Structure 1
Amino acid sequence: MSGNNGTNEPEATHDDVLPTEPQSQAAPSADTAAEGDAVAGQEAAAATPEVRDSDESEAATAPVRRAVPTEPAAPTEPAAPTEGDGSPEKAPETDTPTAVIPVVKVPSEQNPPASDAPTEQVPQITVPPAQAATTAMPPASPPSATPPPAGPPPVAPPPGDGPGGPSGPDKSWSNIPKRTIALVLGGVAAVLVVLYAADLAMSSGEVPRGVTIAGIEIGGESRGDAEAILREELGPRLDTPVAVIAGDTSGEIVPSEAGLGIDWDATLDRVGSQPLNPFSRLASFFGNDEVGVVSTRDDAALAASIDLVTAAAAHEPREGNIVFEDGVPVPVTPQPGQRLDAEAASDVFAERWPFGDVSLPVESVEVTVTREGLDRALAEIAVPAVASDLVITGHDGTVATLPRQDIGAVLSFAPDGSGGLDPQYHPEAAIGILAPQLAATETEPKDAQIVLDGGRPSVVPGTEGNLVDWEKTLESLPQLLATEDGRSIEAVYETADPELTTEAAEELGINEVIGEFSSGGFEYASGVNIRLAASEINGALVKPGETFSLNGYTGPRGAAQGYVESGIIEAGRPGKAVGGGISQLATTLYNASYFAGMEDVDHTEHSYYISRYPAAREATVYEGAIDLAFRNPSETTGVLIQTIGTDSDITVRLWGTKTVDVQSITGDRTNYTSPNTITLPAGGSCIPSSGAQGFTVTDTRIVTDVNTGAQISNKTRTVRYDPVPVVKCVSPEPEPSDDEPTAGGGRPEGGTSPESGDGAAPAQTESEAPAAPETEEPAAARPSPGDFVPDFPGVEDE
């Protein structure tokens, strides 16, 4: 080291020298004598510091290592120095006495001891004779002599410079040779490696330590044993009900019934092989590794089971509200809603069922009304609203009352979006309660009428009315309900004009017949129905641009309205029903509107042709299914319907202002089709028919201006009629008894003849007169898409 003349001796200061106990007087060996002389010299120097000579500064500055004080030691034989043991060699003798101070070598990072290194020379310090004599160790006193006076007290080393400090010997790790530490650590590592290898070898082929599946410990087992254990403990769980919780609902699901099973191979594959990471192996001694179960699943069955259990889990939030029960406001506490993801719930159950109870994920849907907002609306609005009745006073002191117990029909609440409730007022509900009580104080307006007096239309003037203006009367309803006292106000009346005033009726221009048609040939029952329906539409007014509907104007046509059973067409053949025969009125009305220039909105021809109606210019109706409707195309003039019925015919006239002329051109009949024959049991439900051919025919309507003759429109309508089937109502002959004699070899009369063979039908009796020849042709097809005739319902009026 530097400052040491190239030697490897560590530096020392004069403070390192400590006083030592006197040595025994036994003759020391050469090495120990030198060591004793050095110690004695140190003690003398400490006792007589004033002795100095010219070499004092050199001796004082020479490197010195303090010896650690020890107990007096017994004399020992000098040990022969061995090679490489680190003992100092014996200094060569000289003529000049010297004091040898041994240097204690301290192992350090820079100069560690080595058993194989050559023995180092211990540096010696030469002391002049005078000083050497002064520092010689005095002889030890006899045991009985008085001990010499103690030397000066030892000086405490500076911090960090004594035992345990950086420059003094101590017992810390820094004093242990690195080789020793390395050997120890290497030994530990070797032991650990051996233990690791032994653990890895012994566990080869086994399930890693600490592994559990659904809480079942299988660590350390072979794969086969692990599967056996799992099958024994997990298998029964498939058929055991599992508790399922979904929000505030619960239920049970049996996994096997929900389409779940266990994939044993995939489950064991999750376990994996023995971990090679030593830390993972060490951690396995102190914890478990849950790997879970791989389930097989039938998604449809699983979804069905989840739906059954969680059907009640999903519900909408219930907002806070106030309802009224017998006039008492009742708060409805807000309650959050729940949403359930069925797919996510299925996945969770499929994964967690082996562990027992399963909680399915639900999403909470929050409400907007707070408890504070609910309480505020209750105290400030609802409670005052039912404090007393609401009174409305009309003409002549008539009083209408809205009772407090009915306030709930007039007042409700809705969330205001800020945590509170907004009041919702319903004047129409209040009017429904109050108006009937003041009806006697009102005068209804009367529309002007157009009547046929003396065969000519005339206007009967309308009259004004006087009605309660409920909108104005109840405009202060919120303030009234907020007031607990003085809830009485006056009704507001206003004059009401009729819907059709006298001036408006006169401006409709109803002054002449613009279309008329008559038909007859109906039987009695049909006549009853026709005249009744005709009376209902007589006087009907069709204002400019309005549409008239026969079914809509007459309403129901049943027995309660006076209609009787008459002819209809059912399933393509004649039948009977209450209200039958109205098609005769429909056909007559259609033709009157046809020639009056009305716009055809809806009309349907019969499925087969009826000879008393004009071909391709007739209409059938059936309540709720088939209607007749036309529109008044004029923008200024109205149309008045007049009906005249007798026992044999019906006439319809349309009055208005004539603006057009109408011409009808009926085409030739083509594409004839023959009827088929239908045989039915005789009885009230069978109406015989001789049948008729079907055919196709067209009708062209040409509309021209009445003043100029200019053509306005030219439209052709094609109609295809089905053949009328031949209907035979038959009844079998009564079977003869066993006692009745038979002709021709014992067969009953009318029975099967020998020529007909076994199984021939018995003779039949027809209940109708002449019939059309039978045919094997099937019924004619319905109109093609190019024809105008729409589909027919199963029943139509005749």
Structure 2
Amino acid sequence: MAERQSASDEQIAQEAGSSAPGDDPVPPNGHAPEGGPAPGSDAEQAAAGAAPGEAAPVNGAVDRTADRTVVDGAAGEVTVAAAGPSTWFQTSEQPTQAMQARNAAGPAGPPPSLPGASRPGALFEPAAEHPTEVMPAVASAVPTAVGVVNPPPPVGGDGDGDAGSGGRRPLIVVAAVVGLLALLYVVDVVLSLGAVPRGVTVAGVAVGGMEYAAAERELRSEIEPRTTRPVPVTVGQVMSEIDPRTAGLRIDWDATLERAGSQPLNPVTRVTSFFSAREVGVVTFSDDVALVGALEQLAPVVDRAPVEGSVAFEGTTATAVDPVPGQQLDVRAAADVLSREWANGLTVALPLTELPPITTPEDVQTAIQKVAAPAVSGPVTILGEKDTSAAVEPATIAAALTFTAEPGKGLVPGLNPEVVEEAVRPKLASTETPGRDATISFATGAPVIVPSQDGRGIDYPATLKDMLQVITGTGPREITAVYAEQPAELTTDELKGLGITGLISEFTTGGFKPDSGINIKRAAEQVNGTIVEPGETFSLNAATLPRNAANGYVEAGVIDDGAPSRGVGGGTSQVATTLYNAAYFAGMVDVEHKEHSFYISRYPAGREATVVAGAIDLRFRNDNPTGVLIQTTWTPSSITVRMYGTKRYEVTSTPGPRTNPTQPQTVTIPKGKPCSPSQGGPGFTITDTRTLREVSSGQTRTETRTVRYNPSPIVVCEQ
């Protein structure tokens, strides 16, 4: 075995030495010459002294790795690609050309290599540096060397240099770029220390890149004058101004400069600062009470309640009144916006909240088709006793028909029985015997009890209870009058037992408009004759609700959220104020009342009241041992409330001075919008002291109440 291997080495060396340049290269298919065993075959391995399937050794051991096989020995070494099931080693009947092996006697140098190697330490050296002489084909039964055929293409590189340099070069470039950017970032941070960051603006004033002292001077120069000028604001289409000093707004300069001068460490922020501006805004000190108070002055003009859909009549023709959304100043959100933007030198848009109506246009059409149109399609006849009757004409039905918006129900129809009663009573009066409550007459100066009297007549609520179904149905349009006994509500004996002996208080107000006067008269009628027994509490809402069209009320002027508006029942607050003052001077106990949000000149300052259904009531309690009778007297220009009982207190009122004045703001309403111009009025604070001296003992006590009125805005209507 050893001799055969030596002979093979000598043969390889001789043939390598006899090869000349220009000899044919190793066939690319790596086939062995005809007549010889295929390289790597079992026959060749057996001839070489190796077991079948094992590479023949060359003067030494065979080094097998995952990538290569190295055959080394005394004569030299050959590095070849690893054998495997690939096309690197082929078996064929063609001759095999062996590579030159460097023997021990030759000059020292790098191991043999093949063309195509691309990097030192790779499987083969570059052909340009170490050309390989090609051995001639040898026809022999003994393999002369292990052949390498079709090495895989080099990965990376260009064939001239190190194959690994192509993979490392991008990493080196990336590392260099990152390092350069890091260096630039550090230099930028260091150079910007002590200066305001690039691109920073404060309330629109550019201070980026300035030294802190210069930035402060610039900000104070530009912004400080704005702190004393009115701030223009818009709320929807309404324009106004707010005095920042009155609103309690001022700048926290230290905090503003600290916020502006904070250097960002985020690299992205620093890069984008070259191309963009960053607004940081001022830091504001604010007095929440003053700020909210200033904004609430806008509410009377800005706020608008939603208008519900309804049905109106032009004669006896039903027409649609579509709903309209309302709006309301969002005071809390507006305070936040104003605190943030008031010093920017621009007009500040304050947020509004839309108030959706309950009803829809579809609800209105349904009400017309199913209720209004059938209701006025003809008259309704009421049949009374003694062969009497009275016709309710379509025009009267149209006047009596009402619609109320209710959540989930749309427009709910109703009927004002008083309109119908007023129309038919004269025609049916001959069938009735009127009754009368016991009263007190002061015609002669001394109180005289007028006895009560029972009666019999038409019970109109019972008679008209089903009229709505009659006028909207398909049956006969007739109603039979219901008669009933009508006993006096206050009998003579009851009146005598209450200890009502004379007048204990009286108060009168006036100055109302005709439409309000209708509602004032209706509320006065409902209160008139009420007796408040000892220990009982009177409620104006309980006596007059519901204040709607079905109960005899009409649309008139109201104060809605401090703003002039219109609503059914407007004017009832005048009854509340008149009644409150009568109870005040009668010595009644004030249980609940609330003043208007701004002062109304026809009422005594600090001694007036308003009412809102379901929200604000007027209530007082009779703590006297005797009853109190309330009498109301209405005229087209005044309302008077008198209270009768047994006088217990002498009452006086002492108003205090008007303090803490606040000036009104000017609000401009755009052309085409509903507008009522107003000169406005200042707000103020006032106290009222009630002194009660008990008649029987002479003891006195005082009660003081403090009232704060908001200024009413100056309203300008654009022409």
TM-score by length of 1: 0.44
Which has the higher Rg, Structure 1 or Structure 2? 1
Q: Which has the bigger relative contact order, CA under 8 A and spacing at least 6? A: 2
